[in-house]
Chains A and B, each alone.
Chain A
Amino acid sequence: MNNSRDDELMEALLKKVSSDYIKKESAAIDAETAEKHDFGKAFDKDMDKLVKKMSTKKRFSNAGRYAAGAVAAVLVFAVVNPNIATAYKQKFLNIFRHEEGGFIQTDYFSANVEYPIEKFPEEFGNIYAPSALPSGYSVKDIKSGAGFYSIIYERNGTELEFRCINSDRRTSIVDNENHENKKVRLKAGEGLYTYGENDAMLQWETDEYGFSLYGHDLSESDYIKTADSVALVTEDKK
């Protein structure tokens, strides 16, 4: 009983003291004048790109909120008319779809397949998926196992698998006998492209997860474009 009370007090005290500490430290840091540093060109270029990207993201985020407002208005209207609600549900998933070159730009999934978000494992708070796929592919299934989930896409009976692996449990076995390996440059960093006569795999990683794409009948450029399109679908699913 006492231990429990002590724990509660400790937690409360920690919150209070941590908050005070942060305020004081932040004030002290803000008050300091940092010596100016002449950053290298690479740093300036890199940061310039990042700042621009973040500012674009903010604009899109705001645009998304306004769009959400419009969608909400439609939903309110649809409540009155169930037929509209049904039609809206069917079409909602394709709302962002448009053709661009040989690729279908989608909002995290392809074609007329509902995205069964409940199939993703709970341990993955952040769900990532390709936002662009080679033409013709659509979601066939989502599978998960210990430390990974896979989205299986299909085109004319040929599968393409996107896999996201928890970084704690990442292991990769590469067949050196029948496949060639090469390093490729991706937006997320360096990737390992392993290719053979009938199949190929592209693997890469971030601080958070390991990713792979495994398929057939696709070019190296298809794999790279798909990998570069991987985006956060939902955050903190838990």
Chain B
Amino acid sequence: MLLFLILPSEKDEADFAEIFEKYKYKVYSAAYGILQDRQYAEDAASETFYKIAKYYDRIKKIPKDELAYYVTAIAKNTAIDMQAKINKRADVLTDKTDFEDMKAVGGIDRFVSRELYECIDKLPEKQKAMLLYKYGYGFTVKEIAGMLSEKENTVKVNIQRAKNKLARLLRGEKDE
């Protein structure tokens, strides 16, 4: 019985080669959309697949029909980081703390999820990915930091910011 329990179970696991073949053009395309340069986009695509390989043990547990967002979000965020480096500016994200107003989500239950969905759409790419990785895929802050090449604190702060922003948008306030 014990032996049976620990034998390999591969039924629902996405194969890395399969992921690569399925998404290589989409990853390239997502990166090219941001970088507008073939070589840089290939570099970003390559880095994306290395990140996927690094966290493969975790990623293979994502259901196959939910994998596409994960993969393209990694590609976009890698491209954004690369663009920031190319432009010699590191202001894509800062570490300024922004914990204000978290508790001010008064009467959240009156909002419907459709509005929240639309609000998520309006978030900056990186904040959106961090938020969805945490709440949608259930990754830890540490895992998200590794996947998106950010510091854990940056992830925490940005998830908090995203939540603050959603709360503001839900209250109908203008985004800052």
Contact = CB atoms under 8 A, between A and B. Distances in A.
Given A10-B105, A21-B117, A72-B3, A34 B53 contact: no
Nearest to A11: B135
A231 interface: no
A167 B152 CA distance: 11
Contacts of B29: 34-35, 37
Given A35-B25, A47-B46, A51-B16, A65 B163 contact: no
Given A20-B113, A34-B26, A69 B7 contact: yes
Interface of A is mostly: helix
Interface of B is mostly: helix
A54 B136 contact: no
A54 B56 contact: yes
Interface string A51-73: 10111011001100110110011
A37 B7 contact: no
B68 interface: yes
A168 B65 contact: no
Contacts of B77: none
A58 B32 CA distance: 31
Interface stretch (A24-32, A110-118, A194-202, A211-219): A24-32
Given A50-B53, A54-B17, A54-B56, A39 B28 contact: yes
Interface string A159-176: 000000001100000000
Contact of A21 (B2, B50, B132): B132
Interface stretch (A1-9, A98-106, A136-144, A221-229): A1-9
Nearest to B26: A34
27 contacts: A6-B106, A6-B107, A6-B109, A15-B135, A18-B135, A22-B66, A22-B137, A26-B67, A30-B68, A34-B28, A37-B25, A42-B42, A43-B42, A47-B46, A51-B17, A51-B20, A55-B17, A61-B8, A62-B8, A66-B8, A69-B7, A72-B2, A72-B3, A73-B3, A167-B151, A168-B151, A207-B146
Q: How large is the interface on B (under 10, 10 to 19, 20 to 34, 35 or more residues)?
A: 35 or more
A235 to B, nearest CB: 8
Contacts of B153: 168
Given A40-B42, A43-B45, A30 B2 contact: no
